[in-house]
Amino acid sequence: MRVSRSSLLWIGLFTVTWMLASYGKSMATAADMKWLIKYPNAWVFPLKDTISDMMRWLVEDAHFGLFTFTEATRALSWLIEQPYNFVRALFSDGFDRRIGRDAVQIVPPLSWIAVLAGVIALGHYAKDWVLAGIVGASFAYLAVFGQWESAMVTLASVMIAVPIGVGGGLMFGILAYRHPLFERLMTPVLDLMQTIPIFAYLVPILFMFGFGPVSALVATVIYAMPPMVRITTMALKAVDPEIKDFGVMTGCTTRQMTWRILVPAAQQSLMVGVNQVIMLSLNMVIIASMIGAGGLGFDVLSALRRLDIGGGFEAGIAIVILAIAIDRLSQAFAERSTMYVPTNSGTSFVARNPRTVIVGVILVIAMGLGQIIPFFQTYPEGQTLTTGAFWSDAVKYLNINYFDQFEAVKIFFLKGFMLPIKRFFLGVPWPWMIAMIVLIGWRFGGWKLALMNGLMAVFIVTTGLWAKAMITVYLCGASVIIASVIGIPFGVLAAVNKRAGRIIGVVIDTLQTLPSFVYLIPVVMLFRIGDFTAMIAIVLYALAPAVRYTEHGVGSVSADLIEAGVVSGCTRMQILTRIRLPLALPDILLGVNQTIMLALSMLVITALVGTRDLGQEVYIALTKADTGRGIVAGLGIAFIAIIADRVIPASARNARIRYGLEGGHD
Amino acid sequence: MRHFIKNTVVTTVASAFLAGAAFAGVESTDPIKLTLHDWSGQLINTKIMGSILEEAGYNVEYVQADYIAQFAGLKTGDLTLAMEIWATTGQEALDEATASGKVVNAGETGLQAIEEWWYPLYMKERCPGLPDWTALKECAEAFSTAETAPNGRYVGGPVTWGGFDDERVEALGLEFDVVHAGTDAALFAELESAYQRQAPVILWVYVPHWAPAKYEGEFVEFPPYSAECYSDPSVGVNPDMAYDCGKPRGPIWKAAWAGMEDKWPGAFSAVQAYTLTNAEMSAMVGDVDLDGQDIDAVVANWMSSNKDRWSGWIAN
């Protein structure tokens, strides 16, 4: 009886909320209490000015005795710049003697043939000829489609950002593993690093590290490092206690224990973290290019500014190809690190390192010939292919012939789906909404979650961001619903049909690594500026976890249970709806949770088409170089994300308990 | 590998000294850092200036930077020179920066910015009174879409550009809904889409830009801008409201780090002397954005055919 009473209570509360959303405004106006709907400007706490002032003090006045804060950050900046300049010269620019107009190139950049041979050899070394072929074809694509030079610049940034991200992540992760207090301090910091949009802290980074590629690298590292920290701590904790005991028995020091025993034992899990750092770094290339990283991201941006859709698409695909090549390579290395490879000691260097020798020979020959025949140095521009016109024409064809149909679909969704949600969120008086958020926190996570939810919601109100935050919630909410409606069935399909699963996997991978800016502009052409366009962009980007988690959940239902279903005469449909789906529910919920996270991280990009949410606030702050405004709005987005991130797993846990997958007290 | 790195460092250090000797003529061989943004006109402008400075013997470095965020770098000297600060969109930031004393206004580029409501020529048939703005009062519906009908739909620039279009619509009694694009690219995507279908569109266009070269169209003629019209409600066609006139037009400025004049006086005077015309710029932007020519080729072409002009700028 208790269950039904509590669900009755929730239905009642929701009805009250709905009524308030519909009639609250007129009631508040009638009672002369408009502050219930619109938080008065006079009550706004000027936190953003405080932050801006602090930043100014830090950059202009802060002093550590011997040197200023700015000098310290600039020194760090110089330190990062040196290896970056070296790698960039090696792959893209070449080494110059003297500077400026009188520059004489003493060593040209690596010949494209040599790089190609190098990556093929790496592929073969890491796994087999299949991988070598994939990686080789990817790099050949970059050369043939005229993306080589930009791709090498991007590769150079990735090659610097990834080691820093991995190294830093490993350090923080180990610290968190050793000191529980540090771990507890680190957790909220990591949450913020992953949820505050990069645009929000771009301005302070520019102040501290100066203009140029280093700032872009720092921003990339901040964004890409958190998964590495989390995975390191987790992996170290998961090391078999027997291995640890073995270390203790042999009398290891703490240092030996960490580097000789724990880290090698956890290597395979750690490589997952490395892989994440690589993929997130490549996700950053567009934003990094806006502040001086150049490369493929810049090509995408500048192509779309002149509405060269094909050009933007090709550069975008080049990013995808590069990401896939590096991803497959790093995964192969992860697998390889657990295999035992016998070393044939005693033979000559050539016999032991055949690939190194072959690549070395190719390098020397290609670079030598390159001095005489340019083809060996740089892929000739005249030989490049382009499909640019095709993409522009395709969009034009759709636009001219099917615009009315697109328009009809859009109006249908706007009127029947998006606008009601928007009115709901903007209509509910903020004190009531906060009460609801606290109540939900209490229901799923006890008083701690309730308190946290309350504080975060109050922060959003008191900084004057409530209306924009509600538009954010509406836009993300609508997108997440659509993404789930599309993604979950595809996830189920991928789980029950292997071949469909493979195709869906490729599509999802592409959607995630293709910079969203590439498809944002064609979508604007077909659907005009507005919330619907923003929603399409968010759905495309945030679809992936809904598909993947569903696939994983449905696919990993234990075979015994399915057999039990078959034995008791279930049809395939019944097995799906009665056994697979209910048991996969917790996974699906976690997938939805991740979809929300991605949707929120996409907001700043949709601000580029003209939404009026917190993403726009962050974007305005960026273009006005207003540190405080950006950080406050960024925190607003982060808090929405964190509330969702805490409430949904808590409810997923409830679901698991209900289906008896986990012991519980409820 | 280690030897290689070591050698490189040695050569770099050595080359720094050699370079010092080679450029006895210029005040400092430190690179002058010019900012690049993401529109072709600015890239051309900056690369021409950079080429001229290189001809004069200076070292030049190009840095990708955001249009407004770059002022932070100009103040500290991280960046040396920004070649396009539009009076229409960047005046506020420029004034703020020059007031700090760390950035100086290095004069006009000779380019004149125009920003205004703009429509494709085929809309003139559907709204015959254009380009006079009063025609918009009669035929707002010709510019409507399903979402805004019966009001017309005007696509404004990103909110950060300002422009007071919401206020203008109200002050002039135009029945238009103002929709703000988030970026320049989204704005022109709307134009491209509508133009392909010959569909109604009216939007914020600015010159110098490639759009007026690619699409046939005109600016709306609003009552001319005056400072009083923006600040004083009683001025203008609507006696009760401000912003009852067109947008201001103005020069495109060059902005430099205040220390540039002391460090590279010769370069600074060349920067001050440098001017282009709207016609030149439009032609070059068209070459790049519409004909797909390489920016460096267009710049080199300008350099070779205007040798006398730029030699004069670096002579003194």
Picking from B54, B57, B210, the nearest residue to A306 by CB comes out as B210
- Which range (A427-436, A517-526, A653-662) has the least confidence? A653-662
Domain assignment of residue B166, given as a range: 113-231
pLDDT for residue A283: 81
Q: Is the peptide bond before A429 cis (omega within 30 degrees of 0)?
A: no
Shortest distance between the Cα of A227 and any Cα of chain B, in A, equals: 29
Percent of chain B exceeding pLDDT 70 equals 92
Burial of A582 from C-beta contacts in 10 A (0-12 / 13-18 / 19+): middle
Same domain, B122 and B224: yes
Same domain, B122 and B187: yes
> Is residue B97 in some structural domain?
yes
Percent of chain A exceeding pLDDT 70 equals 94
Tokens of A530: 């507005």
Backbone angles phi, psi at A174, to 5 degrees: -65, -45
B31: CATH = 3.40.190.10
Predicted confidence (pLDDT) at residue A520 exceeds the cutoff of 60: yes
Q: What is the DSSP letter of B221?
A: B
Question: Is residue A266 within 8 Å of residue A238, measured between CB atoms?
Answer: yes
pLDDT for residue B210: 84
Helix %, strand %, coil % of chain B (to 5):
45, 20, 35
> How big is the A-B interface in CB pairs under 8 Å?
166
> Is residue B3 in some structural domain?
no
Give contacts of B63 with chain A, Cβ < 8 Å. Answer: 211-212, 292
Same domain, B125 and B215: yes
Burial of A31 from C-beta contacts in 10 A (0-12 / 13-18 / 19+): exposed
pLDDT for residue B274: 93
Q: Is the peptide bond before B131 cis (omega within 30 degrees of 0)?
A: yes
* Partners of B305 in beta bridges: none
- pLDDT tens string A479-496: 999 999 999 999 999 988
pLDDT for residue B15: 42
Alpha-carbon span B20 to B25, nearest angstrom: 10
- What does A37-68 look like in DSSP terms, one character per residue? TS--GGG---HHHHHHHHHHHHHHT-B-SSSB
Chain centroid to Cα A349, Å, comes to: 43
pLDDT for residue A270: 85
The amino acid that residue A524 corresponds to is V
Predicted confidence (pLDDT) at residue B16 exceeds the cutoff of 70: no
Name which of A154, A471, A524, A629 to mutate to probe chain B: the one with the most chain B Cβ atoms within 10 A of its Cβ: A524
Question: Is residue A219 within 8 Å of residue A604, measured between CB atoms?
Answer: no
pLDDT for residue B22: 39
Judge whether B44 is closer than 8 Å to chain A, CB to CB: no
Confidence category of residue B117, pLDDT binned at 50, 70, 90: very high
Predicted confidence (pLDDT) at residue B5 exceeds the cutoff of 50: no
pLDDT for residue A68: 79
pLDDT for residue B195: 93
ipTM score over 0.90, yes or no: no
Predicted confidence (pLDDT) at residue A654 exceeds the cutoff of 90: no
- End-to-end, the C-alpha distance of chain A in Å comes to 14
Tokens of A477: 């909410």
Q: Which of B231, B262, B291 is the last residue of a domain?
A: B231
Same domain, B226 and B271: no
The three-class DSSP label of residue B174 is: coil
Residue B267 Cα distances to A413, B74, B94, B263, angstroms: 58, 16, 21, 9
> Is residue B4 in some structural domain?
no
Confidence category of residue A660, pLDDT binned at 50, 70, 90: low
Judge whether B66 is closer than 8 Å to chain A, CB to CB: yes
Contact A530 B146 (CB under 8 A): no
- Which range (A320-334, A518-532, B4-18, B53-67) has the least confidence? B4-18
Percent of chain A exceeding pLDDT 90 equals 13
> Is residue B240 in some structural domain?
no
Picking from A99, A102, A521, the nearest residue to B189 by CB comes out as A521
Question: Is residue A208 within 8 Å of residue A70, measured between CB atoms?
Answer: yes
- pLDDT tens string A62-104: 777 777 787 888 888 888 888 888 888 888 777 776 555 556 6
Confidence category of residue B51, pLDDT binned at 50, 70, 90: very high
Residue A345 Cα distances to A342, A351, A360, B59, angstroms: 9, 10, 21, 53
Same domain, B117 and B216: yes
Contact B193 A611 (CB under 8 A): no
Q: In terms of pLDDT, which residue wins out, B213 or A463?
A: A463
Confidence category of residue B4, pLDDT binned at 50, 70, 90: very low
Q: Kindly give the pairing relationship between strand B103-120 and strand B250-257.
A: antiparallel
Residues 505-524 on A with a CB inside 8 Å of B are: 520-522, 524
Confidence category of residue A455, pLDDT binned at 50, 70, 90: very high
Which CATH class for the A390-426+464-658 domain?
A: mainly alpha
Judge whether B190 is closer than 8 Å to chain A, CB to CB: yes
Same domain, B135 and B218: yes
Confidence category of residue B7, pLDDT binned at 50, 70, 90: very low
Same domain, B97 and B76: yes
Alpha-carbon span B155 to B158, nearest angstrom: 9
Residues 95-124 on B with a CB inside 8 Å of A are: none
Tokens of A510: 């592409």
pLDDT for residue A337: 63
B125: CATH = 3.40.190.100
In chain A, domain spans: 70-103+110-385, 390-426+464-658
Number of domains in chain B: 2
Question: Is residue B250 within 8 Å of residue B87, measured between CB atoms?
Answer: yes
Average pLDDT of span A592-607:
84
Name which of B4, B7, B15 to mutate to probe chain A: the one with the most chain A Cβ atoms within 10 A of its Cβ: B15
Residue A95 Cα distances to A115, A292, A361, B19, B183, angstroms: 17, 20, 21, 15, 38
Same domain, B197 and B176: yes
Predicted confidence (pLDDT) at residue A310 exceeds the cutoff of 80: yes
Same domain, B107 and B121: no
Alpha-carbon span A610 to B186, nearest angstrom: 8
Torsion sign over Cα A252, A258, A263, A266: positive
Same domain, B162 and B310: no
Predicted confidence (pLDDT) at residue B20 exceeds the cutoff of 50: no
Average pLDDT of span B180-204:
90
Same domain, B117 and B105: no
Backbone angles phi, psi at B164, to 5 degrees: 55, 40
Q: Is the peptide bond before B224 cis (omega within 30 degrees of 0)?
A: no
Q: In terms of pLDDT, which residue wins out, A423 or A31?
A: A423
Alpha-carbon span A565 to A520, nearest angstrom: 46
Alpha-carbon span A599 to A637, nearest angstrom: 11
Alpha-carbon span A235 to A239, nearest angstrom: 6
> Is residue B5 in some structural domain?
no
Same domain, B168 and B74: no
- pLDDT tens string A109-125: 888 888 888 888 888 88
Q: Which of B197, B231, B265 is the last residue of a domain?
A: B231
Average pLDDT of span B8-15:
41
Give contacts of B7 with chain A, Cβ < 8 Å. Answer: none
Predicted confidence (pLDDT) at residue B3 exceeds the cutoff of 70: no
Angle between helices A198-209 and A69-88 (to 10 degrees): 100
Average pLDDT of span B135-162:
86
Predicted confidence (pLDDT) at residue B13 exceeds the cutoff of 80: no
Contact B38 A524 (CB under 8 A): no
Predicted confidence (pLDDT) at residue B162 exceeds the cutoff of 80: no
Confidence category of residue B258, pLDDT binned at 50, 70, 90: very high
> Is residue B242 in some structural domain?
no
Looking at the domain that runs over A70-103+110-385, which CATH code has it been given?
A: 1.10.3720.10
Judge whether B210 is closer than 8 Å to chain A, CB to CB: yes
Q: Which of B231, B264, B285 is the last residue of a domain?
A: B231
Average pLDDT of span B223-227:
88
Q: Whole-number mean pLDDT of chain B?
A: 85
Q: In terms of pLDDT, which residue wins out, A60 or A251?
A: A251
